[in-house]
Chain A
Amino acid sequence: MSGVRLLVGTRKGAFVLTSDGTRDEWDVSAPMFAGWEIYHLKGSPIDPDRIYASQSSGWFGQIVQRSDDGGKTWETVGNEFAYAGTPGTHQWYDGTQHPWEFARVWHFEPSLDDPDTVYAGVEDAAIFRSTDGGHNWQELPGLRTHPSGESWQPGAGGLCLHTIIIDPENPQRMFIAISAAGAFRTDDGGETWLPINRGLRSNELPDEDREVGHCVHRIAMHPSKPETLFMQKHWHVMRTDDAGDSWQKVSGNLPSDFGFPIAVHPHEPETIYVVPIKSDSEHVPPDGKLRVYRSRSGGNEWEALTDGLPQEHCYVNIFRDAMSTDTLDPGGIYFGTSGGQVYGSSDGGDTWNAIVRDLPAVLSVEAQTLP
């Protein structure tokens, strides 16, 4: 029988949650890498037992862990992320120039066809690639050295490259997003990058329509429609149907269009999910009610999903990498909170259950559908 494995990164370690295809009962692992921040774990789509984990600490820096047995055992691999050439500077919070400094890996994106190839999105914003299972990392410097790079400014969480999406129909095309530079696309395997932010408006910027500087929080794609992307920006939910050449706002009737994660239903490419957050000043759900909002029309018309979620006294946040879907039928969707809960739905969001309630603050959730 098929099953689901959730890879959960938290402020104080990683956890693996497993269930069979019914998704009724879950096994929760003991903490792995206890006490370390685990920003993200992700498995290879063609070898789900190959998992990469970003382990970091303000004291001891970056560690990369790799498992070849689905998270039962781990080995440390390479942790040297050296920017290519002379790194130069980017803009700091106060407008002065600041040296490019590696801080941590925010996101791993394994290749769609080679378990040994994996991309890493890092802070300060850059993309690295390993082709030997994580032992050695090389920067794809065309992104960071884009002419706009010197003007990139960190968001509140740092100048982080947090989203990497590989086009399943065109391996030369990838999309990435950086807070607070914006979204970029490569059509040549990472050699050169194009800002794709036309249509985004951010009134935090002196020029609301500028080419870069937008605080993109997350991008999602359905593999059957790689020209269509959905974006949760700092404020505003957006979509593009031309691979980012132009964006349209689809916030519609959301109670707030500030938020972090965004996800697409595994079998319905026009069904999308967000979790509205009150504002950039108050990272909590509006009215103390934890509500996932679902649109079945690719945006604009949204419905609140509340069955099984706390509808009073709830003041948690949901971080950008903490929502994921499985590919079972009916499709499952999962998210973790800053309060340590991991919620799951095995019916596309109609009903929810807390799989686990008292983990450390959840930074990331990745669902793996197992054969």
Chain B
Amino acid sequence: MIRVALPHHLRTLANVDGEVELELDGVPTKRAVVDALEATYPVLRGTIRDHATLERRAFIRFFACGQDLSLEPDDAPLPPEVAAGEEVFRVVGAMAGG
């Protein structure tokens, strides 16, 4: 079970409170997490990554275990603490605008 924290506006859009819990098959990766997020909450399609290119939107970041994973390969395994559900995978709206 993967725990995911969404930013406020995406929680509102997906109509969820607090963390989201996802069950994934296989080794958890960023791509697998976002795939599962979009499958569970179709309203999030296009808000985290581009519909067509599947590239992360410019002002979205991915954090976990005190690290910025945004630039890691999409298919790289996530830290074992995230895979074990001990740590949260965070989708973050980049700070911008002062």
Residue numbers of A with Cβ under 8 A of B are 35-36, 57-63, 76, 79-80, 82
Contact A80 B59 (CB under 8 A): no
Q: Other CB < 8 Å A-B pairs besides A61-B46, A82-B52, 20 of them?
A: A35-B9, A57-B9, A58-B59, A59-B7, A59-B9, A59-B57, A59-B60, A59-B93, A59-B94, A59-B96, A60-B9, A60-B10, A60-B48, A60-B60, A61-B47, A62-B46, A63-B13, A63-B43, A63-B47, A80-B51
Tell me the nearest residue of chain A to B44, going by C-beta: A60
Tell me the nearest residue of chain A to B60, going by C-beta: A59
B45 at interface by CB-CB < 8 Å: yes
Tally B residues with Cβ within 8 Å of A.
18
Chain A nearest CB: distance from B11 CB in Å?
Answer: 11
Point out the residue from B51, B52, B93, B96 that lies within 8 Å of A60, measured CB to CB.
Answer: B93
Bound Cα distance A60, B10 (Å): 8
Contact B13 A76 (CB under 8 A): yes
Q: List 14 A-B contacts (CB under 8 A).
A: A35-B8, A35-B9, A59-B9, A59-B59, A59-B94, A60-B10, A60-B47, A60-B57, A60-B60, A79-B45, A79-B46, A80-B51, A80-B52, A82-B52
Q: Point out the residues of chain B lying under 8 angstroms from A82, CB to CB.
A: 51-52
Bound Cα distance A63, B45 (Å): 9
Residue numbers of B with Cβ under 8 A of A are 7-10, 13, 43, 45-48, 51-52, 57, 59-60, 93-94, 96
Bound Cα distance A351, B96 (Å): 42
Q: Point out the residues of chain A lying under 8 angstroms from B43, CB to CB.
A: 63, 76
Tell me the nearest residue of chain A to B8, going by C-beta: A35
Chain B contact residues: helix, strand, loop or mixed: loop
Q: Point out the residues of chain A lying under 8 angstroms from B7, CB to CB.
A: 59
Chain A nearest CB: distance from B58 CB in Å?
Answer: 8
Bound Cα distance A58, B13 (Å): 15
Bound Cα distance A300, B2 (Å): 67
* Interchain residue pairs A-B with the least CB separation, the first 4: A60-B47, A59-B59, A59-B93, A80-B51
Tell me the nearest residue of chain A to B49, going by C-beta: A61
Chain B nearest CB: distance from A82 CB in Å?
Answer: 6
Q: Point out the residues of chain B lying under 8 angstroms from A59, CB to CB.
A: 7, 9, 57, 59-60, 93-94, 96
